[in-house]
Chain A
Amino acid sequence: MQGCLALEDGRVFAGVGFGAEGVQTGELVFNTSMTGYQEILTDPSYHKQIVTMTVPHVGNTGINPEDVESDRVWVAGFVVRALSPVVSNWRTQGTLDEYLKAQGVIGLSEVATRALVRHIRDRGVMRAAIAHGEAASEPAALVELACQSPDMSGWNLVDDVTCAEAYHWTERSDPQWYRQHRYDPAGPLVVAYDFGIKRNILRLMTDRGLRVTVVPAQTPAVDVLALNPAGVFLSNGPGDPAAVGYAINNVRQLLGKVPVFGICLGHQILGLALGGRTEKMRFGHRGGNQPVRNWLTGAVEISSHNHGFAVMPDSDLSGAEITHINLNDNTVEGLRHVELGAFSVQYHPEASPGPHDSLYLFDEFVNRVKSGETKSKE
C-alpha cells in the first residue's frame, strides 16, 4: 500500500508501506549497520526517531525473541530500500512486517534510501512525517505535520522510556554469542539508571558477576546511595541530555562517592554533570563501523554508535580527560575522571548490534567496582 515520507524542508520520498498504517512524526536519522535491525528497532535510544537503514535488504532474517534490546519497538518509523519478501534464518519466528504491525509501527519500503541519506548528510537530521495508507496521498499536509512536530533539541525523552519502578536484572547472555563468555558468580551490587537501557548492557554486566538493580531515571541520588551500591551505571537513552536536568543533578551528587560508568546518554549526562557542554551534531553517528581511538592504549576499536548529541571537547569538564575520540570526525567518544572514579563512552561497547571490540570497558567497570569495594572494606 501507498506510503510516504515527508521532510520538514519539503522534500518527499515515496515508498510502499508495511507494518502499521497511519501517520507518525519523528526525527529522521540513518543507520549504516548492515545487520541488527531488530536490535535497532528495540533500542529505546531511537524513541521519536524515524530510522532509515542504508543497507538495502532488510528483514531477511525475520524476527526472533532473542535479539531484542527492550520489550517493544521504539522507533517512530522504519525506512528501507527493500523489505525482504521472505524470511530465512534458523532462529526466526516471524516477519518484520508482522512485527511492526503488531507493535503499531509504520514501515516504508521501496524508498530511495541513498538519496535520502545524502540529503540528511548534507542538510543535517530533520523532522519528518511517515505515512502508510490514505494519509500518504497528501504529502503537503505531511510536510506541515513534520514542521509542527517537536524538535529534538531541548526535548527530554528519558521520561518516556525509563522503567516505572526498580527491578533486579539476572539474565545472562547466551554463551554461544561470545568467544570468551564470562560466567562470574554474583558479586557486588551495581545500580543502573534506566534512561532507556539496552538489555545487552545488563546481560554483559551480569555475566561479569555484577548484581544489577535497575532504577527509574528520576530516582534521587540519596535513594541510590541508600542501596549501598559498589558502582553506578548511567545508561544510554533518547533525546537531548541537557534536557534531563534531574539526572545531571543526581550524577553530580553521586560523583566521588561511588564508581560511575556511563554509556551514550549516560556519557553525555556525566559530561554535563562535570560542567561540560553538549551539542547536537549535524547528523550524528549511527552504525557499527566507527573507528574510535582509545588514547590510553593507542588502539583503534571498531565500534557501534548511536548518538545525535556529543560532549564538546572545549567545554569545562572539571579536569576529566578525553580517553576516546572518533577518528572520522574527532568527536569526543570517551571521558575519564580519575579522582572522581568516573568514566564513560559515547558509543556502545555492548554492541548489539555491532562489533565486540570494546567489551573490555565492562571488565574495567567491574574492576573499578571491585577495587572500590575492597577499598571501602579496608
Chain B
Amino acid sequence: MPKRSDIQTIMVIGSGPIVIGQGCEFDYSGVQACKVLRREGYRVVLVNSNPATIMTDPQFADATYIEPLTPEMCERIIEAEQPDVILPTVGGQTALNLALALHQRGTLEQQGIELIGANLASIQLAEDRQLFKDAMTEIGLKSPPSAVVSTVEDALRVAETLRYPVLVRPSFTLGGSGGGVAYNEADLRTIAERGLMLSPIGQILVDRSLLGWKEYELEVMRDARGNFVVVCTIENLDPMGVHTGDSITVAPAQTLTDKELQRLRDMAKAVLDRVGLATGGANVQFAVNPADGEVYVIEMNPRVSRSSALASKATGFPIAKIAALLAVGFTLDEIPNDITKVTPASFEPSLDYVVVKIPRWNFEKFAGVDRVLGPQMKAVGEVMAIGRTFPEALQKGIRALDIGVMGFGSRLEDAPPESLRLPTAQRLFQVASALYKGMPLQEVAETTGFDPWFVRQMADIIQLQDDIISHIPALPEGERAAALTRDDFLRLKRYGYSDAHIAQLVSANEADVRAYRVMLGVTPSYYRVDTCAAEFEAHTPYLYSTYEEGDESEPTAKPKVMILGGGPNRIGQGIEFDTCCVHACFALKDMGYETIMVNCNPETVSTDYDTADRLYFEPLTAEDVLNIIAVENPDGVVVQFGGQTPLNIAHALHRAGAPIWGTSVETIDLAEDRERFNGLMRELDIPQPDGATALRRDEALRAAERIGYPVLVRPSYVLGGRGMKLAFDRDELAAWLDTQIQWNGHPVLIDQFLDDAFEVDVDALCDGETVTIGGIMQHIEEAGIHSGDSACVLPPYKISLYHIEIIREYTQRIGKALAVKGLFNIQFAIKDEIVYVLEVNPRASRTVPFVSKATGVPLARYAAMIAAGKTLAELDFLDEPRVDGFFVKEAVLPFQKFPGVDARLGPEMRSTGEVMGHASSFGHAFAKAEMAASTTLPLEGAVFISVNDFDKGAVVKIARDLHRLGFTLLATSGTAYWLETVGLPVTTVNKVSEGSPHVVDQIRAGAIQLIINTPRGGRAHADGALIRGAAHLYGVPIITTMSAAMAAVQGIRALKQKPLRVRSLQVHHGQG
C-alpha cells in the first residue's frame, strides 16, 4: 500500500524526562520516526519536555515544543498546529498514556485527530491487566494464575488462593513501577497499597509468582496487510521474577529448539491479532517452564520499547523507523532493508553473533534502597556487547559497563551459596566467584535459576584461566606477558578476555600485554552486523570486533574523525552527552570528514547506524578503542563529548599515539589534578573555596577545623558527586570518615562549604585563544545541592550584573589559560560578594543541550568544528548569545522507584533526567518546568511547612505570600509558633513522632497540596524522611530548599495571573 496522502501534519509525542524504566531509547526511536516522516514529506510537530534529547533539536521537526507532557499543554499545541494525526507509539508509556488522556477528554474527537500506529482499543487491551488476561484465555493462551484487584483486602484474599509468593503489578505504570514480590501477608499489604496508589486507575494484578521460569521476549512487527515478522528473540539470563530491564539478556534465544521457538512465534502472532495492533512494533513476553516447556504469556507492549531499541541495535533492523513508516500506510515489503539495500524489510533477521545486554545500576547513590531486583526496574542504563559467542559477548559487556571490572572473573565477590538465589546487581560477580571456587555447575544453575547452558559457558571462561594462566612459568615482572604464546592469546581473546584482565591474571601491566599481543599478530577482525548472517552483502559499516579471520572493516582513505561516545547511561552521565556526540558527528560530517562512532550503549541515537558514517559497537576501553584506531587510522579522535568515560581513557590513547583533537590531554590533566589546578587559580588570582587534601584521619579532622564547618568532603577522583558528603560538625565528619573511607593512599578532599551561596554554571567555548560564553545559568537551589540535581535558570534571575561581569571575566581568563579547544564548563559560587570557582571541566557538560535549546546556538557543533581546527571568528560566534525570556531546567529524581530512600537533595547527584520550561516570565517558566517534572504546582489548597531553624527567617515571607495567594497554612509546632508570632493563621499538625493524626496521615488523606520541608544537618529528623517519602509516594509536590520555595511562590503567582502559553523553538528562535 502506498503511503497515506490524506495526512499532512503528524504530531509525535516524546517520552519526557529520562526516568528509570524510560530512558533514552525513546530519543532514539523518536529521532528515527521524526527523520523518516519528514523524509516522506510530512510536517512533523514534536512535543517533549526533555531538552537533553536529540529529537528536540529544531532540525528534527518542523515545530518543536519543549513543553510539559500534560493533556492541557498538548491541547494548546494541537490548537496551534492542527495536526491530522498523532503518533503515540514512539514515546514510551508516557506518550501512550497522554494519547489515552487526550481521548478521554474528548480532544481527539473534537479536533478530528486520528491516532496512528496504535488504536485506543488495543492500547487499553494491552495495558489493562485483566482485559489482557481474559483476551489471552479467549485465544487459548495461558497466563499466570492471577486476579485484578482494587483494594488491599481483595489482594490478600487472592493471595491466599494463589499461595505465596505472589507478584504484584500495578496497571498502567512504566518500568513496573510499584510492583514487587510478596512472600507473606505483611509484604503484600505494603506492596499492594503502594501499587494501588501508583496505578493511575487504582488497580493491581496479583499473580502467582513464576520464580525460576525462563523468560523470553519476541520483538515483532506487523503492517496493515497483516504481514508479520519476528525481528529478534531475546532470552533472559535472569529467570522470571526480575524485570527485563534489570535482567542480563541474550539475543538470539539460545536454549529453545525450533519447534519451541516457532510455537512462541505463533503465539506472538496470535497475541497481536487479538490485541488488534494495526501496524507497528510490539513486544510479547513469555515465561517458559524449564521442566516441561509449558508457556505462559506475560505481557504485550503495543509500541516500541526499550527492548525494541535493543533488538534494533542487536539485529540492524530499525524497528522505530519502520514502525513510523508502517503507521503512515507503507507495508513491510515496500520498505527496503537499509543494510543490504537490495532486500525488503519483510524478513526476519538472522544473527551470526551473540548479543548480551547488561544493565547498569547506581545503587551506591541510594542509601537504604532495597538492592534485590524484582518486578520493578531499578537500572539506570545498560550496555550491549556483540561477540561471535556468548562468552565473548559477555566479557565485552562486562568491561563496557565502565565499573572497573575488566571481565568475567576479574572481580570476584564472595557470597554464601544461598545468596546466589537473590537477584542483585552483584550476582554475576558472585557467580564468577562461586565457579572460581568450584561450586558444582548444577548447583549454580539451580540456585541462580540461570539456564545450565549459560552457567557452563561461564564456567568455561573461568576454566580457560586455569588451563592457560596456571601453567605459565614464573617470570620477572615486565616479562610475564611474554610467557603467553600466540595460541594462548588467541584462545583467551576468542573467549573475550581483555588485555587488562589478562594483565591482571599474569601480574603484568596492560600496555605490555597489549604490545606483546600485537607483536604476536593477535589483533581483532571487524565483522559487520548485516541482518542476514552474510547471505547478502552489507553496505552499512556497522561493526563489532572478534578474533576470527576475515576482517570486513574496509576502512576508507578519506579524512576521518573518530568520536567516542559515553557508554552506559548512569546518574551524572546520561543522554546529554549522547546529544553532544551526535551533534559533533553531524558537524564533522558537514565539514567533509568521514565520521566514526564508538559506543556501547544500545539506547542511544549515537549507536544508530544512520548517525555516523561508520559505527563500531564496542566497549569504550583503551584497548578496544586503540584496536579500532589501528584499523581506521583516523586523523583525529574526539574525546570531549562523551562525558567522563572517554576522558578517562584519553591519557592511554594519547600515550599510544592517538591524535586527540580539541582540548589537549595536558589541559585535561591540569583541570583534573587538584594541586595543579589550585596553582593555576592562584596564578590567575581567582578565588576558590578554602580546601585541603588529607591522607589520614587526623589530617582530615585537623583540616576541617582549620577551614571551619560545614565542610564538603569526598574521596578524590569521583564522578557525579559520588560519595560526597556535607558535614556540619566534627562528629558527623568523623563518622563519615570511619564508615566511608579506607585510607589506602588515595586522598580525601575537604572543602570549605559556601553556606547560602548562589551557584552558577557557565558553558563556554574556546578555540585556544578566544573564549565565547554560551550560557550562564543560575542554580535555583543554593550551594550544597549537586548541580545536576538543582533546578537552574537561564538567564540568571537574581544575580547582579556586577557579579555576572566577574563571572564572564573569570571564564575568559580560565579558558585562555587552559587553552581549551572546544567546550568547557565552570561552576561558580557567589557568597558575600565574592565569586569563587568551584570546578572546571574541560569537556561538554550536562547542560550543553539545555543551553543550546535556550539560545538557539549549537554549542556542541561549534565545539566539534573547533576541535577540527576552526576558530570562533571563523564560526562567527564571538558574542555571548542573548536569551529571550526565561528557560528553567528542573531535575527529575527517582525516589518514587526507591521507597525507603530519604528523598532529600544533597551534594551527591541522584537525578536521572531533566525537563525544561520556557516562558517570558520566570514564574511561568518555573511553573512549566515543575509541571513537566510531574510536580504541578497547586493553585489552591493547603501548604504544609516544616523548616529548620536557619530557614525560619526566610520562610515568613514565603508563608505570607502563600497565605495571600489563598493557601491554608499547616505547620509542625516549631514552625507554626514562628509563623504565628508574625501573625499568620496557621494550623499545627502533629509530627509523626507525636502520634496520629499526624502529617503523613494528612498527606495520605490528600489534605496537603504542597510541602515545604528543609532538612538540615546529618541528624535530620526521621520525621523529615517520612514526610519526603510520603510526598513522593502520594505525588504531592515537595520543596526542600528555601530558594526553590521562593521560586515556587513566583510560579504559583504567575499561574494565577495568566495561563500558560506554548511556543515552538522554531518560532522562539525566529526560524518558524
Contact = CB atoms under 8 A, between A and B. Distances in A.
Interface residues of A, number: 58
Interface string B319-347: 00000000000011100000000111011
Given A57-B390, A114-B527, A289-B348, A355 B262 contact: yes
A41 to B, nearest CB: 12
A299 B222 CA distance: 12
Interface string A275-307: 000000000000111110100001110100000
A90 B1025 CA distance: 50
Given A35-B257, A91-B293, A81 B550 contact: no
Given A91-B257, A291-B333, A56 B348 contact: no
Contact of B453 (A56, A84, A177): A84
Interface stretch (B120-128, B204-212, B351-359, B819-827): B351-359
Contact of A300 (B227, B535, B548): B227
B452 interface: yes
B898 to A, nearest CB: 36
Nearest to B441: A86
A166 interface: no
Given A36-B257, A112-B549, A302 B348 contact: yes
A300 B346 contact: yes
A114 B534 contact: yes
Contact of A112 (B259, B290, B550): B550
A32 B536 CA distance: 11
B257 A89 contact: yes
B742 interface: no
B256 A55 contact: no
B288 to A, nearest CB: 9
B980 to A, nearest CB: 72
B156 to A, nearest CB: 35
A179 B263 CA distance: 8
Interface in A325-356: 327-329, 351-356
Contacts of B352: 32, 54-56, 81, 113-114, 117
A57 B262 contact: no
A88 interface: yes
Interface stretch (B264-272, B800-808, B914-922): B264-272
B534 to A, nearest CB: 4
B351 A34 contact: yes
Given A291-B346, A327-B333, A178 B266 contact: yes
A61 B257 contact: yes
A122 B291 CA distance: 44
Given A33-B258, A56-B389, A327-B344, A287 B536 contact: no
Nearest to B455: A86
Interface string B526-566: 01000011111100000000001110100000000000000
Nearest to A287: B350
Contacts of B388: 56, 81-82, 114
B349 interface: yes
Main secondary structure of the interface of A (DSSP, over half): loop
B332 A88 contact: no
Contacts of A302: 228-230, 346-348
A287 to B, nearest CB: 6
Counting chain B CB atoms within 10 Å of each CB, the highest count among A56, A115, A329 belongs to: A56
A64 interface: yes
B263 A177 contact: yes
Contacts of B225: 298-300
Contacts of A27: none
Nearest to A59: B453
Given A35-B258, A112-B548, A115-B548, A121 B293 contact: no
Contacts of A66: 259
B747 interface: no
Contact of A356 (B253, B265, B290): B265
A122 to B, nearest CB: 8
A213 interface: no
User: At the interface, is chain B mostly helix, strand, loop or mixed?
Assistant: loop
Given A56-B389, A121-B535, A86 B453 contact: yes
Interface string B450-490: 01110011001000000000000000000000000000000
A16 B459 CA distance: 20
Contacts of A176: 263, 293
A123 interface: no
A118 interface: yes
Given A90-B290, A117-B352, A300-B333, A85 B536 contact: no
A114 B253 CA distance: 19
A300 B866 CA distance: 51
Contacts of A64: 257
A21 interface: no
A88 B350 contact: no
B222 to A, nearest CB: 11
Nearest to B534: A117
B350 A34 contact: yes
B346 A327 contact: yes
A305 B79 CA distance: 53
A121 B552 CA distance: 14
Nearest to B295: A176
Most buried by A among B263, B331, B346: B346
Interface in B597-633: none
Nearest to B528: A114
A170 to B, nearest CB: 20
A177 B259 contact: yes
B363 to A, nearest CB: 31
A282 to B, nearest CB: 11
Looking at A81, A89, A356, the one whose CB has the most chain B CB atoms below 10 A away is A89
A60 B342 contact: no
B533 A54 contact: yes
A112 B259 CA distance: 28
B354 A56 contact: yes
B347 A290 contact: yes
Interface in A163-193: 176-179
Given A38-B257, A91-B257, A179 B270 contact: yes
B858 interface: no
Interface string A113-129: 11101100100000000
Nearest to A326: B343
B598 to A, nearest CB: 22
A176 B227 CA distance: 24
Contact of A86 (B258, B265, B456, B548): B456
A202 to B, nearest CB: 16
Interface string B383-407: 0000011100000000000000000
A144 interface: no
A356 B267 CA distance: 11
A315 B265 CA distance: 37
Nearest to B387: A56
Interface in A18-46: 30, 32-36, 38-39
Given A35-B258, A89-B257, A114-B548, A55 B533 contact: yes
Given A32-B352, A85-B456, A86-B456, 5 more contacts: A35-B256, A91-B293, A177-B263, A293-B333, A355-B230
Interface of A: 30, 32-36, 38-39, 54-57, 60-61, 64, 66-67, 81-82, 84-91, 112-115, 117-118, 121, 176-179, 287-291, 293, 298-300, 302, 327-329, 351-357
10 contacts: A39-B258, A89-B260, A114-B388, A115-B548, A179-B267, A302-B228, A302-B230, A327-B347, A328-B342, A355-B348
Shortest Cβ-Cβ A-B pairs, 10 listed: A115-B550, A36-B258, A353-B258, A54-B533, A86-B456, A35-B258, A88-B453, A289-B348, A32-B350, A54-B352
